């Protein structure tokens, strides 16, 4: 009979890269505050797209300033109709199997059209999280490069969908965390180790952008592999909606991969990985979660094709210009008030403790705007605040009114 373990310390993990015992209670305490203020579990109907939602329980109407659909394409008739038409055409919700074995012709069409539009080999999947789970461990073990493991350096602010994989990657190689946008730290690592990969976002989900020119310089000088999640910039920025990462990494060589959500500004659902090589595309298609996970369902394939059609129309430029106008207007009105994200459509105001963050979010909701209160572990302890997303389908008047109300609420609460 095995010896009985009586001390929890005997079975507790090392907690080198995650610690649910600390994170979960802290998060639940903050979510409890939001729930008490009626800021969770809202059930709504759309009255006027994202700019006018109605709470079905109270009748309260508000604009959604937490939507990642930065251009409003998620409700475009062409996108919605394309999803319906795909189901009508195929008469099946999906093949429910690894798509590297068999896939619908409409899926291959989507791959080809995405690849042509983004100027790279584009691999679609159900989410960026699945893509990262498939790609990053293989990158760490060297199977995407020369066969030797790479030291994997995560930016401190890299999204949870990538940070979540640190324990898995640490089974393959050395994992490090880099201070945010600290290219000197990265260069020191590149000088110390011959094979290094950097994992970061293009535009960060809590505001701010990657130092792409500094990252590209390190890649050119040391051969550093670059893995960027550009989910919050795809479609919202760049010619043809190529995003922020591709403004510098315009040609994807063998040491760069860009992943991005197509469920945000793009207007559909799922995620894509952009790679520069067809052999790599084929390898990834049959690797790990991409091989055993369900692929995009038929309706999702259709909406992605519909979104591409919208991207090829003048509306993309019109919405991008309106978004840029809203950003400039908002930055001018809020200058000097400590908001993070100047020049970006994602804004974050830090107020410190959880209670103040929830009170700020609640007061904005009372005035007609839903903005997300955010707290540890999403942001650092003591750095709680409110995140706001501007969009290209927001009229100028709404942006003006929101800026005015935010200034008043910050004076009272922030």
Residues 136 and 238 in one domain: yes
Residues 100 and 202 in one domain: yes
Q: How confident is the model at residue 383 (pLDDT cuts 50, 70, 90)?
A: confident
Domain assignment present for residue 7? The answer is no
Domain assignment present for residue 224? The answer is yes
Evaluate the omega torsion of the peptide bond into residue 377 and state whether it is cis, within 30 degrees of 0: yes
Q: Which residues, listed in sequence order, are joined to residue 61 by a DSSP beta bridge?
A: 54
Residues 242 and 378 in one domain: no
Residues 160 and 283 in one domain: yes
Residues 56 and 80 in one domain: no
Q: Indicate whether 168 pLDDT > 80.
A: yes
pLDDT digits (tens, 9 = 90+) for 223-279: 999 999 999 999 999 999 999 999 999 999 999 999 999 999 999 999 999 999 999
Residues 303 and 385 in one domain: no
pLDDT of 338: 82
Q: Indicate whether 11 pLDDT > 60.
A: yes
Q: How confident is the model at residue 5 (pLDDT cuts 50, 70, 90)?
A: low
Residues 37 and 102 in one domain: no
Helix (H, G, I), strand (E, B) or coil at 389: strand
Domain assignment present for residue 111? The answer is yes
Query: Which of 285, 229, 293, 281 lies closest to 254 in space, CA to CA?
Result: 281
Q: In whole angstroms, what is the distance from residue 325 CA to residue 312 CA?
A: 21
CB 310 within 8 A of CB 78: yes
pLDDT digits (tens, 9 = 90+) for 112-122: 999 999 999 99
Q: Indicate whether 202 pLDDT > 80.
A: yes
Q: How confident is the model at residue 299 (pLDDT cuts 50, 70, 90)?
A: very high
CB 200 within 8 A of CB 210: yes
Q: Indicate whether 1 pLDDT > 60.
A: no
CB 308 within 8 A of CB 300: no
The arithmetic mean of pLDDT across residues 274-295, rounded, is 87
CB 69 within 8 A of CB 265: yes
Tell which wins on pLDDT, 268 or 383. 268
Calculate the CA dihedral of residues 341, 346, 351, 357 and round it to 10 degrees: 180
How many beta carbons lie within 10 A of that of residue 68, not counting itself?
17
DSSP code of residue 369 = E
Residues 134 and 262 in one domain: yes
pLDDT of 6: 62
Residues 231 and 301 in one domain: yes
The arithmetic mean of pLDDT across residues 208-230, rounded, is 96
Which two tokens mark 262?
């197509």
How many beta carbons lie within 10 A of that of residue 283, not counting itself?
16
CB 17 within 8 A of CB 140: no
CB 228 within 8 A of CB 200: yes
Mean pLDDT of the chain: 91
pLDDT digits (tens, 9 = 90+) for 169-195: 999 999 999 999 999 999 999 999 999
Domain assignment present for residue 244? The answer is yes
pLDDT of 2: 55
Q: How confident is the model at residue 414 (pLDDT cuts 50, 70, 90)?
A: low
Q: In whole angstroms, what is the distance from residue 186 CA to residue 218 CA?
A: 8
Q: How confident is the model at residue 9 (pLDDT cuts 50, 70, 90)?
A: low
Residues 62 and 169 in one domain: no
What lies within 8 Å, CB to CB, of 113 at 6+ separation is: 305, 308
pLDDT of 201: 96
Q: CATH number of the domain at 334, please.
A: 3.90.1150.10
Residues 84 and 206 in one domain: yes
The arithmetic mean of pLDDT across residues 72-91, rounded, is 96
Domain count for the chain? 2
Tell which wins on pLDDT, 23 or 95. 95
Which two tokens mark 410?
């910050």
Residues 115 and 222 in one domain: yes
The arithmetic mean of pLDDT across residues 130-144, rounded, is 95
From 259, 292, 311, the end of a domain falls on: 311
What lies within 8 Å, CB to CB, of 248 at 6+ separation is: 212, 213, 215, 216
From 311, 331, 350, the end of a domain falls on: 311
Sign for the pseudo-dihedral over CA of 298, 277, 211, 170 = positive
pTM: 0.92
Pick from 22-26, 136-140, 308-312: least confident: 22-26
Domain assignment present for residue 80? The answer is yes
- DSSP string for residues in 45-114: EESBTBT-EEETTT--EEEESS-S-TT-GGG-HHHHHHHHHHHHHH-SS---S-TTT---HHHHHHHHHH
CB 233 within 8 A of CB 245: yes
CB 306 within 8 A of CB 268: yes
Q: In whole angstroms, what is the distance from residue 141 CA to residue 49 CA?
A: 45
Q: How confident is the model at residue 3 (pLDDT cuts 50, 70, 90)?
A: low
From 288, 311, 334, the end of a domain falls on: 311
Q: In whole angstroms, what is the distance from residue 155 CA to residue 175 CA?
A: 11
Domain assignment present for residue 4? The answer is no
pLDDT digits (tens, 9 = 90+) for 313-357: 999 999 999 999 999 999 999 998 888 888 999 999 888 888 888
Q: CATH number of the domain at 206, please.
A: 3.40.640.10
Domain assignment present for residue 147? The answer is yes
Domain span at residue 360 reads 15-74+314-412
The arithmetic mean of pLDDT across residues 117-145, rounded, is 95
Domain assignment present for residue 345? The answer is yes
């Amino acid at each position: 009979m095995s010896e009985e373990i009586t001390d929890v310390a005997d079975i507790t993990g090392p907690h080198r890269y995650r610690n649910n015992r600390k994170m979960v209670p802290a998060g639940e305490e903050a979510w409890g505050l939001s729930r008490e203020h009626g800021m969770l579990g809202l059930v709504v109907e759309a009255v006027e797209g994202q700019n006018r939602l109605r709470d079905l329980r109270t009748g309260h109407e508000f604009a959604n300033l937490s939507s990642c659909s930065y251009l409003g394409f998620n409700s475009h008739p062409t996108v919605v109709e394309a999803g319906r038409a795909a189901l009508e055409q195929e008469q099946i919700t999906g093949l429910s199997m690894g798509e590297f074995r068999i896939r619908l012709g409409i899926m291959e069409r989507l791959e080809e059209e995405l690849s042509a539009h983004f100027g790279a080999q584009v691999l679609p999947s159900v989410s960026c999280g699945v893509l990262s789970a498939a790609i990053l461990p293989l990158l760490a073990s060297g199977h995407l490069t020369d066969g030797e493991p790479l030291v994997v350096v995560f930016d401190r602010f890299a999204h949870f969908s990538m940070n979540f994989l640190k324990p898995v990657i640490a089974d393959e190689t050395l994992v490090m965390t880099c201070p945010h946008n600290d290219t000197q730290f990265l260069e020191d690592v590149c000088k110390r180790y011959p094979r290094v990969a950097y994992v970061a976002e293009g535009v960060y989900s809590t505001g701010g952008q990657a130092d792409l020119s500094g990252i590209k310089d390190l890649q050119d000088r040391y051969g550093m592999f670059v893995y960027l999640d550009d989910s919050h910039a795809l479609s919202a920025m760049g010619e043809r909606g190529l995003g922020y990462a591709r403004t510098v990494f315009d040609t994807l060589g063998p040491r760069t991969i860009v992943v991005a959500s197509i469920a945000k500004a793009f207007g559909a659902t799922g995620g894509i990985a952009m790679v520069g090589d067809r052999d790599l595309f084929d390898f990834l298609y049959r690797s790990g979660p991409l091989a055993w996970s369900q692929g995009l369902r038929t309706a999702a394939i259709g909406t992605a094709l519909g979104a591409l059609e919208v991207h090829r129309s003048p509306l993309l430029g019109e919405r991008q210009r309106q978004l840029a106008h809203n950003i400039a207007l908002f930055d001018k009105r809020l200058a000097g008030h400590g908001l993070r994200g100047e020049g970006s459509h994602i804004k974050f105001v830090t107020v410190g403790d959880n209670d103040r963050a929830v009170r700020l979010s609640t007061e904005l909701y009372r005035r007609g705007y839903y903005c997300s209160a955010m707290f540890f572990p999403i942001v650092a302890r003591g750095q709680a605040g409110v995140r706001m997303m501007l969009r290209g389908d927001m009229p100028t008047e709404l942006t003006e009114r929101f800026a005015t109300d935010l200034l008043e609420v910050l004076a009272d609460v922030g």
